[in-house]
């Protein structure tokens, strides 16, 4: 089970400002990606459970993190129903990320006091999520809505915390456009953790990118 409360995770998301997203069916690759992100300064990770037997990979990833990086928060994404959320929470997921708003996921996560971030794309969905106890909503896909959508929502609802995912790039210009309108954090996937043309990962390059993103976000906030 999760060793962190949803409030602790929510505060970590706000403090860190970004979450690297990754998936690989090879457990050794996952361990190297985790190490690269941790060495770069990331303290949150989202494992996007999209492949066959992804839960088996996640189980090993969770044990690896808890043994080697106990101060890292591990979440799981692409969760589409309450049963899957329950399964991953049993394997140590610290937070649950979903592509869409589902009440069954809210129910099982709230019962265990685990943070959940539902994918929302309208003001109604955001309001419904917050009524269900959501601390931070996931704006997905961020590339469709853009920073202006966040600005429009937070005008009348400054209490709304938003994490855009999809359409976020690890550049100063792009990150500035999001943080200028008040996002709580951002999710970075293939733009941060992607394979090289030969199908391998540049682990040192990923570590360097993570450091650069942390520096950019820190500068923007200050």
pLDDT of res. 66: 95
Sequence-ordered alpha helix ranges (H) in the chain: 6-16, 27-40, 54-68, 82-90, 103-112, 123-131, 142-154, 172-179, 203-221
Pair 48, 24: CB distance under 8 Å: no
* Helix/strand/coil for 88: helix
Q: For domain 6-221, which architecture applies?
A: Alpha-Beta Barrel (3.20)
Domain ranges across the chain: 6-221
Residues 217 and 22: their CA atoms lie apart, in Å, by: 20
pLDDT of res. 222: 87
- Please provide the distance, in angstroms rounded to a whole number, between the alpha carbons at the two ends of the chain: 36
Q: How many CB atoms lie within 10 A of CB 204?
A: 11
pLDDT of res. 3: 79
pLDDT mean values, one per 10 residues, the chain (222 residues): 88 97 97 98 97 96 97 97 98 97 97 97 97 96 94 97 95 97 96 90 97 98 90
Residues 20 and 61: their CA atoms lie apart, in Å, by: 15
pLDDT of res. 100: 95
């Amino acid at each position: 089970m999760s060793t962190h409360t949803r409030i602790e995770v929510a505060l970590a998301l706000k403090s860190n400002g970004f979450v690297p997203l990754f998936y690989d069916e090879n457990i050794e690759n996952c361990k190297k990606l985790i190490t690269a992100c941790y060495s770069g300064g990331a303290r949150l990770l989202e494992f996007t459970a999209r492949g066959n037997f992804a839960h088996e990979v996640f189980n090993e990833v969770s044990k690896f993190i808890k043994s080697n990086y106990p101060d890292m928060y591990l979440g799981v994404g692409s969760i589409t129903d309450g049963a899957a959320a329950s399964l991953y929470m049993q394997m140590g997921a610290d937070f649950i990320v979903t592509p869409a708003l589902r009440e069954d996921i809210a129910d099982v996560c709230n019962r265990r006091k685990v943070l959940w971030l539902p994918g929302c794309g309208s003001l109604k969905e955001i309001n419904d999520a917050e009524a269900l106890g959501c601390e931070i909503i996931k704006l997905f896909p961020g590339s469709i809505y853009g920073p202006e959508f966040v600005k429009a929502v937070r005008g009348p609802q400054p209490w709304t915390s938003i994490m855009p995912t999809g359409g976020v790039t690890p550049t100063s210009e792009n990150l500035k456009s999001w943080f200028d309108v008040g996002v709580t954090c951002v999710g970075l996937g293939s733009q941060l953790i992607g394979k090289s043309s030969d199908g391998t990962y540049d682990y040192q390059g990923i570590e360097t990118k993570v450091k650069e993103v942390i520096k950019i976000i820190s500068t923007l906030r200050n």
